[in-house]
Amino acid sequence: MKELALKNLYDDFRDGKTLQAYAKIIAEDAAKLDRTINIMEVCGGHTHSIMKFGLPQLMPENINFIHGPGCPVCIMPKERIDHAYVLAMQPDVILVTLGDMIKVPGSNGSLQDARAKGADVRFVYSPMECLKIAQENPEKKVIFFAIGFETTTPMTAVLIDQVIKQGVENILFHINHVTVPEVMKELIDSRDVHVDSYNNKIDAFLGPSHVSVIAGSKIYEQFPRDYGRPVVVSGFEPVDVMEGISMIVKQFMQNRCELEIQYKRVVTHEGNLNAQRLINTYFDKVSLFRWRGLGNVPESGLKLKDAYAKYDAEVVYKDVLPLAEIEDHKLCICGDILRGMAKPPECTIFGTACKPTTPIGSCMVSSEGACAAYYKYGNLL
């Protein structure tokens, strides 16, 4: 058997001719529709791919992208970023988190600022690195500030599992894991008062494949069934996204409303049952999780089960963590952007007061937010 090189995993999925062929099919199919189809890509990874590869430029006029709330850094409300900052500034704490979480400004500054003031803040690629850090620093408390959707939750669960099994005494967790289907429901069916969300324009969803690798495609069954919105679970390479869009357009053309999987090479209906079991062992759903730009969303977040409260930094450090909710700037229209009511350039502070270096709203915060992607890759249409 020929050895599988890393490039096999993406090369063919960025082929120019294949992309153009899909563009042609989508245009021909869309021409037969007498309406506009607004497709929400839920995940920030998709937004990033769509903008980086210029896919809106390949779409006919009546196929429109709505950029969803699926970027774990963007949706973190400021008060939780303040938690990270406060924890990092505690004596004898090493605060560990993932990627660009360390850049996001809270009300006192970002974790980078905390680091500049002498706090020990580290980013890791894999949460398992915490074990090594804890071992090398037995006199310190290592707090893992856990963020992410279904994709990163299993890694946190594995870390907790190991912490308990190995009897590690100096690792704590601050859990900010959130779930995709609940926020999708919220976008269609909101009960939050500060945005007029019954007016959402979402006609169909492009579901992120990596979420379904863990949680299965089953989590989306309710959307075609109960909400009349087709869902196609799609990969992240441009050819995957184009095929996913084409599948959605065909559903509208043929008057179907179904859950389909484009990313058949990995995604199954049931997902990774071991990972799901591990998550259910350690986590409960919280009744409300506040999303930056969207407000409170029922059952959309996770927390450590009460039985593991001694590992929960929110419990252990509850006396020092601030409680007040912090709203975004009044001019920020991230809520409307996330519901497809507006595009980033329509915001009066986009690119002026609100930039990747000084983000004001959630969508500018991480490179996977819609505003950041528009700012970075521009709109050359």
Partner 1 sequence: MNKTITIAHGNGGEENNELIKNIFYKHFKNDILERSEDAAVLQVAGEVAMTTDSFTVSPLFFPGGDIGKLAVCGTCNDLAMMGAKPKFLTCSVIIEEGFSTRELEKIVRSMKKELEVNGAVVVSGDTKVVPKGSVDKLFINTTGIGEIEQKGISSHNLQEGMSILVSRDVGAHGATIFAAREGITLESTLQTDCASLYPQVKALIDADIDIVAMRDATRGGVAAVLNEWAKASSVCVEIEEEKIPVQEEVKGICEMLGFEAVNLANEGTFVLAVAKADEVKALEVLQQTHESATLIGTVTHQHDGKVILNSSWGTKRFLDLPTGELLPRIC
Query: Which residues contact partner 1 by CB under 8 A?
Result: 5-7, 9-10, 16-17, 19-20, 23, 45, 51-55, 57-58, 72-73, 98-103, 112, 122-126, 129, 147-149, 151-152, 210, 238, 356-357, 367-368, 375-378, 380
For residue 214, give the H/E element and its range.
Answer: helix 209-215
Q: Whole-angstrom distance between the N-terminal and C-terminal Cα of the chain?
A: 45
Q: Locate 336 and state its tokens.
A: 């409307």
Length of the chain: 381
Q: Smaller CB distance to partner 1: residue 143 or 188?
A: 143
Which whole-number Å values give the CA distances from 366 to 35, 73, 295, 310, in the listed order?
Answer: 33, 6, 18, 31
Least spacing, CB of residue 350 vs partner 1, in Å: 15
Q: Of 39 and 316, which has the nearer Cβ to partner 1?
A: 39
What's the gap between Cα 123 and its chain centre? Answer: 18
Q: How far is the CB of 152 from partner 1 (least distance, A)?
A: 5
With respect to partner 1, which residue has the nearer C-beta, 129 or 258? 129
- How distant, in Å, are the alpha carbons of 67, 69, 202, 294 from that of 191? 20, 17, 17, 10
Closer to partner 1 by CB, 227 or 377: give it: 377
**Kind of pairing between the strands at 283-291 and 204-208:** unpaired
Least gap, CB of 334 to partner 1 (angstroms): 19
Which residue lies nearer to partner 1 by CB, 7 or 330? 7
Contact 173, 143 (CB under 8 A): yes
* CB 380 to partner 1: min, Å: 5
Q: Least distance from C-beta 233 to partner 1, angstroms?
A: 16
Q: What angle do CA 84, 87, 92 make, to 5 degrees?
A: 140
Nearer to partner 1, 255 or 357 (CB): 357
Write down the least CB distance from residue 39 to partner 1, Å. 18
